[in-house]
Amino acid sequence: MIAAVVTVSDGVFAGQREDASGEVLADAARGAGFDITGRTVVPDDSDAIRTAVTRLCDDDAALVLVTGGTGFAPRDVTPEALRPLYDRLVPGIDEAMRAASMAVKPHGMLTRGVSGIRGTTLVLSFPGSPRACAENFAVVEPVLDHALKLLRETPTEHL
């Protein structure tokens, strides 16, 4: 299945920092059997975020992993940019990721990530921390195959 990664970061976009979080998510998705067809870096800008994610969904990615811009800083606008793109929200995934983050450190409750479904694409919103990306991908990986089969109307067995 096809997956893509969008990194939201002014610093990475400006070439001032490495895209460590995007690399962690791309590696994790590859390890889970996904073909990574795109890695995009955008600044903390609502229009840029919406444009990148919409393009990837329209290009038929099954899974889009977005990292960054979910905190409390004034330029952290990823949740506000993503929410209008979704046909449906997936709060259980966000709740599970936040719970896992809070089990590691209290600051996990400060992430405002909002994940959802656009058409037949699952878009997951991760914090900008490479460590949090790895921890949170491990939380969602067990349900991805089943979730994406349901979205793509592939027969599944309900256990």
Determine the Cα–Cα distance for residues 22 and 128; give it in Å rounded to an integer: 9
Mean pLDDT for the stretch of residues 47-61: 96
Mean pLDDT for the stretch of residues 123-145: 97
pLDDT band at 132 (very low <50, low <70, confident <90, very high): very high
Going by C-alpha positions, the residue among 3, 21, 6 that lies closest to residue 132 is 21
Task: Report which DSSP code applies to 136.
Answer: H
Least confident of 12-16, 33-37, 143-147, 154-158: 154-158
Place of tokens 């793509």: 152
pLDDT in tens, 80-116: 999 999 999 999 999 999 999 999 999 999 999 999 9
**Structure tokens of 94?**
């966000």
Which residues touch 67 (CB under 8 Å, ≥6 apart)? 5, 6, 7, 8, 21, 22, 25, 126, 127, 128, 133
Query: 138 in helix, strand or coil?
Result: helix
Report the chain's mean pLDDT, rounded to a whole number: 95
Query: 120 in helix, strand or coil?
Result: coil
Helix (H) or strand (E) holding 68: none
pLDDT of residue 154: 72
pLDDT of residue 157: 62
Prediction pTM value = 0.95
